[in-house]
Structure 1
Amino acid sequence: MSPIESADVVVVGAGIVGAACAEALSADGRRVMVLDRGAPAGATTASGEGNVLLSDKAPGPELDLALASRRRWPELLDTLRDELGERLADVEWESKGGLVVAVNPDSVSPLRILTAAQREAGVEVRDLGQAAACAMEPHLTTGVTAAAHYPGDAQVQPVLAATAMLAAVRARGGLVHGGVEAEGLVVRGGRVAGIRVGGTAVPCGAIVNACGPWAGHFSVAAGAPIEVLPRRGMVLVTAPLPAVVGRKVYAADYVAAVSSGDVDLQVSPVVESTATGAVLIGSSRQRVGFDETLEVEVLRRLARSAIRLFPVLAGVPVMRAYGGFRPYTPDHLPVIGEDPRIPGLWHAGGHEGAGVGLAPATGRMLADLMEGRRPEVDPGPFRVARPALMAEVRT
């Protein structure tokens, strides 16, 4: 690690959320140091599909944050291009839209109820019948009974996006260190005064816990435990194909899987193309701690579910499979804000599978709160001191 006497803020975690927080803080003129025990953007962010979604969120605080983030993404990318140039700021942004499909009659009514509520909340969504859905996606199964088109859904390459934001932090005078583990806080007078790294103390005025699925572990080491848990997911990647899938397509029951707290395995088909021509196939959810085992049965279920949506995928070679951990909170809301137990300790995490999409608005909210500004989105629902996160306030 390069020598540094101090930082205004130390962000622990160099994934997409940590990078967005560091970018927003450095844009405010703060000197930021980012630490990660592994390679920057090398853990959960590298295992993500890069989704920037409105379609999978019911009206409420998370959708409000998603709408703000969707507005902010293009502005942020313009800023990165201006500061870094086109090459470093190329993050493979695609405003390709999303299609949610009902594949049985029982799914139609819940889907229509959801889309009506989302429209009221400001989401652009168009209800479609089977013919219109298949016209948009010619390889889609004809067993679709109804669908909804979301023009605002987008995709970004998450590693490129995180590294571009970290490059902007460096360009503004900040530091980014991989392979460096934060060992604990330095607390004086009841508030953060620094962070311990490699047996030495680095003075700072604030620390941001952006450790993704490991945020709960870091919070315990910091002496301010919060309930953030890992939830494992797996993805199949096909060999490059001709144009088969035009946008992100998933079954309507995926929304229920996202909001479920079940421990048992859940599989709901999610299929989307990439810039290389490969098709990504998800989605699974399991609460198995940090067990990294690639389970063959899970991969089989992913493949079967994708073929039911897109029969043309039968027989297509799978190039690889990978897994990762999503940071899960029991009430399915991110945690963004200062810890009331240790002033100067901030948390930004618990986004589960929505971290890429929610990252820009999360970073901006945290920076606004740190500066004493009123955030665009009400921060109350994301506060640290809520029953689902802190044992001492549970009833």
Structure 2
Amino acid sequence: MTSSISVDVAIIGGGIVGMSVAYFAAKQGLSVAVLEKGEIAQGTSSRCDGNILVIDKEPGFDSLMSLESQKIIAELTRQLPQPFEYRAPGSLFVCETEEELAAAKMWVDRQRALGLPFRMLDRADIRQESAYFADDLVGGLECASDSTVNPYMLTYALAEGAAAHGAAMHLRTEVRGIARLKGGGFAVDTDRGSWIADKLVNAAGCWAPHLGRMLDIDIPIVPRKGHLIVASRQRPVGLRKVMEFGYLMSKFGGSRRVDEETERYGVALVFEPTESQNFLIGSSREFVGFDTSVRPQVVRAMARRAMRFYPGIADFQVIRTYTGLRPWTPDHLPIVSGVDEIPGYYIAAGHEGDGISLAAVTGKLMSELLTEAAGTCVPTEPLRYDRFREKGA
């Protein structure tokens, strides 16, 4: 390639967030190039569960943004030609103690005050959900709107949808340098040629800080490692997503009464049935850099935690285990924003474990920012890049 290709928008990153941005931007008529150093969904998007959740979101902006993403995902089932195993069965939190149940009641009251479809569950409700639950679980809560997808298939469906609107996908194309142009815009140098873009979207997830440094931008994203177990058994365990209420403590850094190993690895029950009749068991949370090795001691801790809530599934068979890196930010919200000091530079990253949940609303919001739309699908203030500077982060 001897000359540069000019586009309205260059998107760096071919995961679910990058492909969602590409789809919605191309749909708005912008010329789009996606630059991905590997394959589509090669990173975090293929190493995660597939939940579009409101149940675990802080009541307020977080939960309302997630509800908007659920609505957009439902629309995408009609807009995208490729299916992506969409189901909307709702999801559950289960509680171990009366103290957790009291906290769950406050959580439900706050969500219901916002008009969200939450309700409390008693012991009988929990037993009806699955015969394999432990007898001492005191209750829980439900969010009826929660849905699930195959994240790999959704990423590809978005990519195909973006391509149908004219977006160009450049895989196995690693960005080596980014420079600002005097007249505005950016020159993006890769190992397979160069691009000129009026606007640039950094959608590289855990690797977003690396790209930010090319223009001296400090992006406060750190990889947070998570393990998953893919398992099976002859008889089905349950029909929808289940988490322990203590998952919130693990996610947001609260204290729990658990054994030392469970606490050390940030382990909390996540159970998710798949369309193929297998199920996923999670989860763990560790700050260990970019180490993606599977650690048997973490897998054991996750299996023990699953059997505490489901003692009747001790005969499950492990099909495989794997890890993924989640792009963590200090306030647990993504960055979906322009960078004021560099006009035309945007960030769509930092979703931690909510990349699948928030990919749709992120793509739509970013397309609105790129086209300078009069209004946006969700408020932009909580997602601004410069919020960390204001907090001294």
Both structures adopt the same fold (TM-score exceeding 0.5): yes
Hey, what's the Cα distance between the residues in 2 that align with 1:393 and 1:314? 47
Match in the other structure for 2:358? 358
1:348 aligned counterpart, secondary structure:
strand
- The answer (yes or no) to whether the contact 1:240–1:276 under 8 Å persists in 2 is no
- Per-residue deviation at 1:199? 7.0
Match in the other structure for 1:183? 176
Which amino acid in 2 is paired with 1:34? V
1:237 aligned counterpart, secondary structure:
strand
- The answer (yes or no) to whether the contact 2:45–2:151 under 8 Å persists in 1 is yes
Hey, what's the Cα distance between the residues in 1 that align with 2:87 and 2:3? 39
- The answer (yes or no) to whether the contact 1:10–1:207 under 8 Å persists in 2 is yes
- Per-residue deviation at 1:194? 2.5
2:365 aligned counterpart, secondary structure:
helix
Which amino acid in 1 is paired with 2:379? D
- Per-residue deviation at 1:215? 1.1
Q: May I ask how many residue pairs the two structures share in their alignment?
A: 385
Match in the other structure for 2:258? none
Match in the other structure for 1:155? 148
- Per-residue deviation at 1:190? 7.6
The answer to whether structure 1 residue 101 and structure 2 residue 107 are counterparts is: no
User: How many percent of aligned residue pairs carry the same amino acid?
Assistant: 31
- The answer (yes or no) to whether the contact 1:36–1:179 under 8 Å persists in 2 is yes
- The answer (yes or no) to whether the contact 1:104–1:145 under 8 Å persists in 2 is yes
The answer to whether structure 1 residue 118 and structure 2 residue 111 are counterparts is: yes
TM-score w.r.t. length of structure 1: 0.93
2:387 aligned counterpart, secondary structure:
coil
Match in the other structure for 2:248? 255
Unaligned runs of 5+ residues in structure 2 are 256-262
- Per-residue deviation at 1:157? 0.3
The worse-fitting range, judged by mean Cα deviation, of 70-79 and 47-56 is 70-79
Deviations, residues 107-139 of structure 1 (Å, cap 9, x unaligned): 111111111111112220111101111112222
Match in the other structure for 1:133? 126
Distance 1:9 1:102, change over 3 A: same
1:227 aligned to 216, 220, 234, which one? 220
Match in the other structure for 1:306? 306
Match in the other structure for 1:29? 29
- The answer (yes or no) to whether the contact 1:191–1:342 under 8 Å persists in 2 is no
- The answer (yes or no) to whether the contact 2:108–2:141 under 8 Å persists in 1 is yes
Match in the other structure for 2:259? none
- The answer (yes or no) to whether the contact 1:36–1:181 under 8 Å persists in 2 is yes
Which amino acid in 1 is paired with 2:95? A
- Per-residue deviation at 1:241? 3.9
Hey, what's the Cα distance between the residues in 2 that align with 1:376 and 1:240? 42
Aligned-residue CA RMSD (Å)? 2.0
The answer to whether structure 1 residue 142 and structure 2 residue 135 are counterparts is: yes
Which amino acid in 2 is paired with 1:278? N
1:331 aligned counterpart, secondary structure:
coil
Match in the other structure for 1:325? 325
Distance 1:253 1:157, change over 3 A: same
Match in the other structure for 1:86? none
Match in the other structure for 2:235? 242
- The answer (yes or no) to whether the contact 2:5–2:194 under 8 Å persists in 1 is no
- The answer (yes or no) to whether the contact 2:132–2:313 under 8 Å persists in 1 is no
Match in the other structure for 1:68? 68
Match in the other structure for 1:368? 368
Unaligned runs of 5+ residues in structure 1 are 82-88
- The answer (yes or no) to whether the contact 1:267–1:302 under 8 Å persists in 2 is yes
Hey, what's the Cα distance between the residues in 1 that align with 2:362 and 2:165? 20
Distance 1:319 1:3, change over 3 A: farther
TM-score w.r.t. length of structure 2: 0.93
Hey, what's the Cα distance between the residues in 2 that align with 1:150 and 1:393? 33
